[in-house]
Structure formats: structure tokens, C-alpha cells
Amino acid sequence: MGLLDKLRGELIDIIEWIDDTQRTLVWRFPRYHNQIKNGAQLIVRPGQQAIFVHRGEIADVFEPGHYTLTTDNLPILSTLAGWKHGFDSPFKAEVYFVSTRQITDLKWGTPNPIMLRDPDFGPIRLRAFGTYALKAIDPQALLRELVGTDGTFETDEVTELMRSIIVEAFADWIGTQQIAALDLAAKYREMAEDLRKVVCERIDDEYGLEVPQLFIVNVSFPEAVEKALDTRSSMGVIGDMGRFQQYQMGQAMMAAAENPAGGGAAEGMGLGMGFAMANQMIQGGANVGAAPPPPPTGATWYVSVNGQPVGPMDVRQLAQGIASGQYGANPYVWTAGMAQWLPAAQVPQLSAALGTVPPPPPPA
């Protein structure tokens, strides 16, 4: 081998792209003045295409493989450059590597709620978000329409465009299908496939891109609507709202009776809830819950002391106990025929007896 052949061998270039970004769609091979030596080695890895551009015109396209660049495998570039009988000197050309693999886990979502007319709720707003994958299927169209002269073209430069196309397709689909909002969750897969097809029709021929996968992760209501739905669901689980309110009032009355420190405030609250509960029972025809057992003959009254019924006793015994302070100034009492416990001062049957009992004598 002569010295000239040795020097020529040392000048052979290796043109390749090792992509470690996972987000790059197009990358231009850096060359000083775009000069490529005769016999340069071109390595195109799986998931790539190499495109030669000469003076703004797309020339030859190489699929994955290992090539030695000559006039035999650069027919279009040879024609553009005017090579008729081969060449021995370096030539100028730009080499773009295009990633043809799927770029996954890209996000899409509605920046603003979409207004709809729902058959169940009337006018309503919905939000949606999901993921999709992107793939270049026509590198030449991608270079012409989006890349231009960029040395590196990332997915971030096209995600805003993709998001707008997907959201527009989603709004059109959900507006024409007239599906109740509560039934959308059962149609995520069908909806996602329809969206994918519409998006592919938009970007295939125009941008040389494809969406091989598209997923809808969630379609949600505004927060206020979700709270209203939760309340509605809770009411459905409770069932009879009247009985539930009676149960809550009964629990609150027992808690007030067990809290002697509440004083007059607790008594007033218990009295108010008692009247409300009685009113509900009268309006709804509700049956009164289990009452204390009927007292024996001659003993008709019970009094609440620290949350426990004390009795039975007659009217005189009850009046004396109240007057002496044994049961407090205005204790809760009950007798057969009463719907609930009431303060003694509110029971008409006791007004005469309480008024005739003298107060306790002063201390000696």
C-alpha cells in the first residue's frame, strides 16, 4: 500500500448517530462545511433513517444498515451534484438522522374545561387527560414541514401541536356522541381509538407523523360537581332521609342529656331538636321508637338523671324532687303518651303540681 492510499484510508469518515436522549426525533450529523469524504462509512441503526440533503433538496434516503458511500448508492445525489463518472474528492451534503421508533409516555390534556350538554345534568364542564406515543413514518415530510434547518428537533417542539390536535378531536367526538358523563368511563378504550384515528388522519400526510398508541387516563368533573355527586351518592346509600334525620336527632339528644355541663344551652338544644323530631314524626307518620316500659299502677313518671331514667314515680314525688333540687331545676321527664323526653317546665300536666309544691325551707 502506497503512502497516498494510506492517507486516503485515514481520511474515511464514519457517519452514525448514537441516540441516548429518548426524546429526539431528528438530528443533523455535524460536518465542517458539510464535507464528506469519498468512501465514507454510513451506519444506520435499527429505528433510524438517514437522509442526505444537497443544496436544500432531499436526495437519497438510507434504511438501517452499513453502507460505503459511493456513486452507486448515492444515485440522486450524484445526479444533483453532476457526477457522471464517479468522484474522488470530498463532497458537500447534509445528513439528517430521523428516529423511526416510538417515543412513548407523552402527555396530553385539556387546558380548559370543555362545555357539554349532558342528558342527566344539563350544561356541564369536563376535563380529560391521558398519554400517547409518537412515531415518524415519513421522514421526508417531517423534514419539509417541521424540522427545516434545525440541527436537533425534539419532541418538545411538536407536543404543543399534538396536544391541540388531540384536544380538538376529543371535543368534537364527545360533543357528537351525546354520551352521558357518568357513562364515559365505560367507553375510554373506544373513545381513545376513535381519537387516535382522527389524529393520525391530521398528521400523517401533513407532518409525516403517526400516533400508534393513545390512551385516556381520566375524564373528570369540576370539583364542585364532584362534591355534589358525592352528596347525591351518600343520600342514595342512606335511603330514607327522614328516618336518618330522626336517628341523628336522637343521638344528639342523648349526647346533650349525658353532658350535664351543658346547662341551659344543652337543655334548649335538646328541646329544639325534640320539637323538630316530633314535627317530622307527625308529618311523615313515622312510628316512635322503643319507649321505656309502662310504669306500674300509681307510678307514671320518669326523670332523666345523668342520662339515665329514674322512676317510676307519681306526680307528687316528681314535683318534690324538682323543688328540692334533687333532679335539677328543669329536668327532662317522660310519661306514657309522650313522644319524647321534654323539660318538666314544658309539660302542661306538671305545671299545676310544680306550682303547688313549696320551695325548700331556708337552712337553720
Determine the Cα–Cα distance for residues 357 and 95; give it in Å rounded to an integer.
113
Number of domains observed in the structure of the chain: 4
Please give the full DSSP string across 6-55, using - where no structure is assigned. HHHHHT--EE-----SSSEEEEEPP-GGGEE-TT-EEEE-TTEEEEEEET
Domain membership flag for residue 124: yes
In DSSP notation, 63-94 reads -SEEEE--TTS-HHHHHHHT-SS---S-EE-E
Check whether residue 321 and residue 221 sit in a common domain: no
Would residue 69 count as lying in a domain?
yes
Same domain, residue pair 17 and 55: yes
Q: Are residues 222 and 115 in the same domain?
A: yes
109 and 83 in one domain?
no
- In a shared domain, residues 25 and 110: no
Same domain, 76 and 37: yes
* Res 361: pLDDT: 60
Residue at which a domain ends, from 226, 255, 270: 226
Is 149 within the bounds of a domain? Answer: yes
* Measured distance CA(258)–CA(308) in Å, rounded: 8
Q: Are residues 17 and 79 in the same domain?
A: yes
- For residues 110 and 95, membership in a common domain is answered with no
Per-residue pLDDT at 244: 62
**CATH number of the domain bearing residue 124:** 3.30.479.30
Say if residue 129 is in the same domain as residue 208.
yes
- Considering the domain architecture, whether residues 275 and 340 belong to the same structural domain is answered as no
Domain for residue 327, yes or no? yes
3-state SS class at 174:
helix
Residue 362 lies in a domain: no
Contact 15, 42 (CB under 8 A): yes
Determine contact, residues 40/71, Cβ cutoff 8 Å: no
- Which helix (H) or strand (E) segment holds residue 350: the answer is helix 348-356
Examine the domain organization and report whether 58 and 157 are in the same domain.
Answer: no
Q: Give the domain range for residue 182.
A: 103-226
237 with 222: CB under 8 angstroms?
no
Q: What's the rounded Cα separation, in Å, for the pair 159 and 155?
A: 6
Residue after which a domain boundary falls, among 68, 99, 130: 99
For the chain, the straight-line distance linking the first and the last C-alpha, in angstroms and rounded, comes to: 140
- CA torsion through residues 80, 83, 89, 95, sign: positive
Listed in sequence order, the DSSP H helices in 208-262 are: 223-238, 241-257
Could you tell me which residues come within 8 angstroms of residue 113 by beta carbon, excluding any fewer than 6 positions away? 125, 126, 127, 222
Q: Domain for residue 326, yes or no?
A: yes
Contact, 42 vs 80, CB < 8 A? no
Residue at 209 is within a domain? yes
- The confidence score (pLDDT) of residue 200 equals 92
Q: Mean pLDDT in runs of 10 for the chain (364 residues)?
A: 48 80 87 75 92 86 90 78 64 88 90 82 85 91 86 88 91 82 84 91 88 91 72 64 68 68 53 57 50 50 85 84 80 86 83 62 62
**Residue 256: is it exposed, middle or buried by C-beta count within 10 angstroms (0-12/13-18/19+)?**
buried
Residues 111 and 217 in one domain: yes
Q: Where a domain ends, among 99, 121, 136?
A: 99
The one-letter amino acid at 115: M
- Measured at the CA of 154, the angle between CA 150 and CA 156, to 5 degrees, comes to 125
**8 A C-beta contact, residue 139 and residue 209:** no
Domain assignment present for residue 129? The answer is: yes
Task: Determine if the pTM surpasses 0.75.
Answer: no
